[in-house]
């Protein structure tokens, strides 16, 4: 009995299905980018970067939201990334295979995929409730908590890539581990660690859920870190769901700005990583 035609047919059918699956995935990305471009470009103008969010029916821009997002993302990275880098250093250099490190690695991976809205509730409970009001600093703290696992993971991976010989040479010169870490390992792993920072910025700058109950939103210009502050994701959320046409247009413009900046960040992180790997001759 010849089963060959059937087997060949089955093979062709499943391979065709996997091709269709890939095309579907790519089509989704294309559809989303196309929608963003076609809706967002219509709303692009200088007003976006020079004026505040308007009341319904009024003319306006997104200046306060852009400023608030930039400030909170920057603060989030400034608070979160040192913690992530130091903890990653501990895992890579001091507690390599201790039980504590195994647990921390595990918990960190869990935090990496934990729902961001939970982190928002956590900061609400420990910061907003105690301060009695929403504030920019609470939003920044929520973003910092989200940035820690990303930087921790990349820092550990990148430090592990540094050739052992370099570490040994430094130790042979009589340097303590701290000196080796600061003067040899960090410079050697610099572009890798920077990649981690870029990825963390990309991750937190689009986060909406944790900001809803930490920084809230602000219709007006505010630089006060102790008060609610406007930010792009929450403005997009509120404006997109509003019935007003000009608010919706602003939401689309904001969505385009945020997506393009995040895609640029992730692409540059990838390019940096590729350069790093080709420097090492493709070695892991």
Partner 1 sequence: MAIIDPRHAAKQLIYERIFRACTLSAAILVLLILGGVAVSLLRGAWPAVAHFGFSFVTREVWNPVTDEYGALAPIFGTVVTSLIAMLIAVPTGFGIALFLTELCPPLLKRPIGVAVELLAAVPSIIFGIWGLFVLAPVLQRHVQPWLIDHFSEIPALGDLFKGPPYGIGILTAGVVLAIMVLPFIAATLRDVFDTVPPMLKESGYGLGATTWEVIWHVVVPHSRVGIVGGVMLGLGRALGETMAVTFVIGNAHRISASLLAPGTTISSAIANEFTEAVGDLYTSSLIALGLLLFLITFTVIAVAQAMLRRLERRGMSAA
Touching partner 1, residues 245-284 (CB under 8 A): 251-252, 255, 258-259, 262-263, 266-267, 270
User: What token pair was written down for 242?
Assistant: 């509003």
- How far apart are the C-alpha atoms of 235 and 118, rounded to whole Å? 20
Minimal distance, residue 197 CB to partner 1, in Å: 15
- Count Cβ atoms within 10 A of the Cβ of residue 122 and give its class: 0-12 exposed, 13-18 middle, 19 or more buried: middle
CB 136 within 8 A of CB 123: no
Binding residues for partner 1 restricted to 198-227, rule: CB under 8 A: 202, 205-209, 212-213, 216
Q: Is 14 in the site for partner 1 (CB under 8 A)?
A: yes
SS3 273: helix
User: What token pair was written down for 60?
Assistant: 């306006």
DSSP symbols for 221-234: ----TTS----HHH
CB 147 within 8 A of CB 139: no
Binding residues for partner 1 restricted to 39-98, rule: CB under 8 A: 39, 82-87, 89-91, 93-95
Q: Which x/- pattern over 101-140 shows residues binding partner 1 (rule: CB under 8 A)?
A: x-xx-xxxxxx-xxxxxxx-xx-xxx--x-----------
Q: How many helices (H) and strands (E) does the chain have?
A: 14, 0
Looking at beta carbons only, is 60 or 228 nearer to partner 1? 228
Name the segment binding partner 1 (CB under 8 A); options: 69-77, 144-152, 157-165, 189-197: 144-152
Residues in the interface with partner 1 (CB under 8 A) total 92
Minimal distance, residue 121 CB to partner 1, in Å: 4
Binding residues for partner 1 restricted to 145-164, rule: CB under 8 A: 145, 148-149, 152
Looking at beta carbons only, is 75 or 104 nearer to partner 1? 104
């Amino acid at each position: 009995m010849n089963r060959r035609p059937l087997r060949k047919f089955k093979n062709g059918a499943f391979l065709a299905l996997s091709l269709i699956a890939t095309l579907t995935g790519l089509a989704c990305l294309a559809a989303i980018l196309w929608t963003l471009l076609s809706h967002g470009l219509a709303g692009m103008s200088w007003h976006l970067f020079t004026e505040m969010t308007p009341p319904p029916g009024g003319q306006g821009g997104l200046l306060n939201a852009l400023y608030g997002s930039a400030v909170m993302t920057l603060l989030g990275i400034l608070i979160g990334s040192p913690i992530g880098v130091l903890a990653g250093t501990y895992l890579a250099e001091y507690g390599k295979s201790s039980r504590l490190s195994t647990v921390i690695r595990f918990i960190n991976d869990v935090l990496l995929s934990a729902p961001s809205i939970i982190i928002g509730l956590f900061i609400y409970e420990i910061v907003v409730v105690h301060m009695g009001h929403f504030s920019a600093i609470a939003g920044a703290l929520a973003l910092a908590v989200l940035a820690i696992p990303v930087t921790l993971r990349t820092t550990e991976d990148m430090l592990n890539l540094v050739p052992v010989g370099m570490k040994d040479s430094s130790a042979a010169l009589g340097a303590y581990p701290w000196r080796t870490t600061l003067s040899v390992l960090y410079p050697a792993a610099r572009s890798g660690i920077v990649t981690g920072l870029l990825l963390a910025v990309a991750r937190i700058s689009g986060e909406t859920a944790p900001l809803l109950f930490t920084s809230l939103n602000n219709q007006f210009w505010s630089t006060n870190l102790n008060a609610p502050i406007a930010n792009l994701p929450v403005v997009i959320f509120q404006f997109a769901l509003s019935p007003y046409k000009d608010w919706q247009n602003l939401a689309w413009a904001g969505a385009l700005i945020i997506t393009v900046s995040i895609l640029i960040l992730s692409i540059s992180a990838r390019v940096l990583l590729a350069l790093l790997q080709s420097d090492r001759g493709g070695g892991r």
